[in-house]
Each structure stands twice: as structure tokens, then as C-alpha cells.
Amino acid sequence: MAGHLETEIKFELGEDGSVPPLEGLVRLGAVHEYRQRAVYYDTVDFLLTRHSITLRRRTGGSDDGWHLKLPVGPGSRQEVHADLEDAPGHLRVPTVLRAAVAAALGADRPADPDDALVPLSFLATHRTETELLGPEGAVLASLADDRVSALPSGLSMREVEVELVDGDEELLAAVEERFAEHGVERSESPSKVAWSLGSLPRRVRKGRGPRRAGPAAVLVHSYLRREVAAVVGREDAMRADEEDAVHQGRIAVRRLRSALRTFRRLFRREVSDPLRDELSWLGDILGAPRDAEVMLEHLGAALDELPADLVRGPVHERLRHEVGTRHGSGHDALVAALNSERYLALVDSLLDFLGDTPWRGLAAKPARKVLPPLIRKAVCRAARDRDAAAHAEGDAQLHLLHEARKRAKAVRYAHEAVAPSFGDRAGEAAEEWEAATDALGMLQDSSVATGWLVEVAAAAEAAGEVSFTYGVLAGLEYARQSGDLREEGERALDRVLRR
């Protein structure tokens, strides 16, 4: 890690404007052209932006690498560099820079696992850099004429930076005066990335999302960032099996997969589909310990409701042992997965997807026009599965209702994604779809529980224990599946499909 003090001034310049002449102040030296690509990182709530801290990963210039810029005074920033790497996990913010960010933020440093540093914006810059020389040929400053385009906002601008090398601030003052004489004013934006974000940080602080009249890409990108942060930020908590960590990580993975499906017309699918497949792998890994947690709670509650004379043998102990064993093996597999190169590659793919999202042209159109039709298509998919379930019986119907529940979850997640921008109606719709998925979820839990009970009963018999109680519990589960639970789930889904 290396660093230096950066002192510069920036100017706004029109697309066809000319850089004012600097004769009499400096001599012009060598000219270099660069095509720079920079990915900027921040927390979901723009903590770094609010503190005028800039963190980026840049390639294509004379100083490729990670750059952290910390404000130290008007026009000056301490710049800290870290080298690029090619190893798995290379798109994560380097540990030394994360430590520097935490030190700079002090008491404001993020503590929530959802506050992980993830890609925020992508800036492509065509830079023409000119050395500004003194009388003896020393490089006093550099002048960078930047033509910048930003994603996902789709904005573009032109900015001129004059940064001191061996010169002093008197030179900057003279340059500023010369520019002003030619009608070129200093830029009011604290940084390029702040310019690319516009009012979004302020809107997020007020609990609102991107403007729905703006590009669909901005709204969807904001949602994807939040869910990627929820996964990456919980890695240590999931390894330690902290309360609710695996559950929340699994939800975030599901939301990501769902968004890549529901909004797939916005992406180049040769990139988004393989990413979705890898997220499915991680979701399956997360599912094993989480399912064990759910089953222990579900079966424990069912057992507690039985009359004492129907509980034969060490049923509580057997349930805890069998479910605990499954949870333990599932968690061991999760830790191994989180430590694997496959997972590191997945995280790199997620960060790369955020940093240089493979948008299609549709993503540049207004969110209010593009996203509602995509959500309606998701509703149609749920309706088709519900209709198929209505014409099936027995286990086939249970399976189709579970498929309909997954489709309904996709609709719920889509409404959650747009609610901060689209307002109360979208939020209310998300709640209604959640109620339907919860009702169908109880049916699915009961279905899974019957399978677990058969296996636990077999383990009990192998140990010479009475299996009577497991049969009672399984019978109750079967009765619920063919009765109230199924009817309640169907009614809940039908209600929301009619809205």
C-alpha cells in the first residue's frame, strides 16, 4: 500500500468547449491518452459518499489499481493505493483499504452486515493528460481533459482536472483565474462518482429509491447492490452460525436469483444466466442448515402439542439429535463452500456484475414504463402454476403448489424491489404476495416434515426405540396437508391473483 497527498482543482467544460490557453503560466509538455475504466465502491446507504470518501478500482491509466481518497482539507485529499491482484476474490476491497476506510469513518464506520462495500457505479473515461512544465522543464502539474460516461445512470460529462505534481497552490490559483477569464468555472461536484449519483444518496437517506422516471437500470442496480451486500457482508456470521445469519443470507440469494429472472430482459443473458446458476448452487448449500433449523422448530412445536400419553420413548432427544446432526453436517458443508475457490469466484462474478453490468438497451428506458410489464409477466407465471395445481391431485398437486409458491415469491420480491421508487401501492402488493407465500410455506413445511419424520423414525427403530410417536406426528401432518393447510394456501394465492 502506498499513498500521497493529492491537491487539485476541477472545472466543468462543455462537450465542444476548448481548454483555455495557459501561455505565460506554464509550458505544455508530453501528452498521453488513456481509456480508463473505474468501478466505485460504497455501502448501500452511501456512507463513503456522505463523508466525501472515494474508493475505486481503476484500470487503463498510468496508475492502475485500487485508489482510496480521504478528504484532508479544501481541494486536498490523501490518496492511498493498493495493487490489483488476479487471485480468486480479487474484486473485493483489499483488507488494508477496508481498514483505512474504517479508521477514517471512526464512530461512523459500518457495523451492520448489510453495509458491506460493493460496486456502486461504473465510469468510463477518455482522458487526455498534458504535463504542465516550469521554466526548467520540471513537471509542475498535470492537466487531465476527461470525457466521462457513467453507468447505470447513463449520464455523460466533460471535466478538466489540474493536479499539482511539483508545483504550488499559487499555480492552481493562477490557472483558476485564467480559466475564469475564459468563462470556465470550477466544478461544484465533489467527485465524478458523486456527479454520477445525482440526488440518489439524498433520496436513499429519506427512505426513497431511485426516481421511477429515471432509467430502469438505476432502480434494478440499486436492488441488486443491496442483496449482494447482504450476502457478502454475512460471510463471517454464516461461518460462525450466528442467529438468523444463514436465513438472511439464503433470502438474499433467492432475491438475487429472482431479480435476474424477473428482470432478465434488461441483461445480456449469456452473462446473467450462468450467474443465476451459480447462485442456485449457493442457495442449495445454504438450504441444508436452514431447513434443519426450520424443521427443529416445526417438529418441536408439533410434539409439544401432543398429549403426554402419545409421546412414547425419548422422542424429544431423538429429534434434537437427528436434526442437530443434519444441521451440523449442513453447516460444515456451508463453511467448506464459503472457503472454496468456487465461492470466491461467485463473489467476483457478483461484484463484476455490479461493477460492469451487462445492460441491454431496454434498461436505459424509464423504470415506470419498463418494470411493470415485467412484473405482470411474473404474475402470469404464478397464475399458470396455480392453474396447473388446480387440475392435479395428491402429491402432484403438492409439488405444483410448491412451484406456484416459488413463482409467487418472485412476484413478491419484484414488488419489494420497486416499492422504494413506486410507492405505497407496490409496498402493499409485496405484503399481499408475502401473505400468500407464507400460507403456502406452511403447507410446504408440513410436506417436508413428513419426509423427515419417516427418516427419524427409521433411526429410532435402528436404535431400539419405539417409533409410535413419529407415526402419530406424520399422520397429523398428512391430515393437515390434505385439509386446512392446503385450502388456506390455495385461497391466499387465489386472493392475490385476483387483485
Identify the band that residue 2 occupies on the pLDDT scale cut at 50, 70 and 90.
Answer: low
CATH superfamily placement of domain 2-200: Hypothetical Protein Pfu-838710-001 (2.40.320.10)
Instruction: Specify the DSSP element, H or E, that contains 372.
Output: helix 367-390
pLDDT in tens, 184-220: 999 888 788 989 998 999 999 888 999 999 999 999 9
| Greater model confidence, 109 or 423 | 423
Q: Which of 106-110, 355-359, 364-368, 463-467 has the least mean pLDDT?
A: 106-110
Predicted pLDDT of residue 73: 74
Question: Which value, to the nearest 10 degrees, does the dihedral of the CA atoms of residues 46, 50, 53, 55 take?
Answer: 10
Q: Which of 198-207, 234-243, 344-353 has the least mean pLDDT?
A: 198-207
pTM: 0.92
Predicted pLDDT of residue 407: 97
- Looking at the chain, the whole-number percentage of residues with pLDDT higher than 90 is 86
Sketch the domain layout of the chain as residue ranges: 2-200, 209-498
* pLDDT exceeds cutoff 80 at 338: yes
Identify the band that residue 299 occupies on the pLDDT scale cut at 50, 70 and 90.
Answer: very high
- Alpha-carbon distance of 467 to 469, in angstroms, equals 6
- Looking at the chain, the whole-number percentage of residues with pLDDT higher than 70 is 99
Predicted pLDDT of residue 394: 86
Predicted pLDDT of residue 477: 93
Residues 389-418 have a mean pLDDT of 95
Q: Residue 394 class from Cβ within 10 Å (0-12 exposed, 13-18 middle, 19+ buried)?
A: exposed
C-alpha cell at 251: 433470502
pLDDT in tens, 75-114: 678 989 999 998 899 999 999 999 999 999 988 887 777 7
* pLDDT exceeds cutoff 60 at 1: no
Predicted pLDDT of residue 160: 96
* pLDDT exceeds cutoff 90 at 499: no
Q: Residue 238 class from Cβ within 10 Å (0-12 exposed, 13-18 middle, 19+ buried)?
A: buried
With contact defined as beta carbons under 8 Å apart, do 415 and 427 qualify? yes
| One fold for 2-200 and 209-498 | no
Please, which residues have CB within 8 angstroms of residue 412's CB and are 6 or more apart in sequence?
A: 430, 433, 434, 436, 437
- Alpha-carbon distance of 487 to 206, in angstroms, equals 41
Predicted pLDDT of residue 54: 94
pLDDT in tens, 427-476: 999 999 999 999 999 999 999 999 999 999 999 999 999 999 999 999 99
Residue-by-residue DSSP string for 14-77: -TT--PPP-TTT-EEEEEEEEEEEEEEEE-TT-HHHHTT-EEEEEESSSS-EEEEEEEEETTEE
Three-class SS state of 119? strand
- Alpha-carbon distance of 442 to 423, in angstroms, equals 29
Q: Report the chain's mean pLDDT, rounded to a whole number.
A: 94
- Alpha-carbon distance of 458 to 224, in angstroms, equals 44
Identify the band that residue 308 occupies on the pLDDT scale cut at 50, 70 and 90.
Answer: very high
* pLDDT exceeds cutoff 80 at 60: yes
The values of phi and psi at residue 36, to 5°, are -95, 145
CATH 1.40.20.10 correct for 209-498: yes
* pLDDT exceeds cutoff 90 at 424: yes
Most confidently modeled of 51-65, 332-346, 477-491? Answer: 332-346
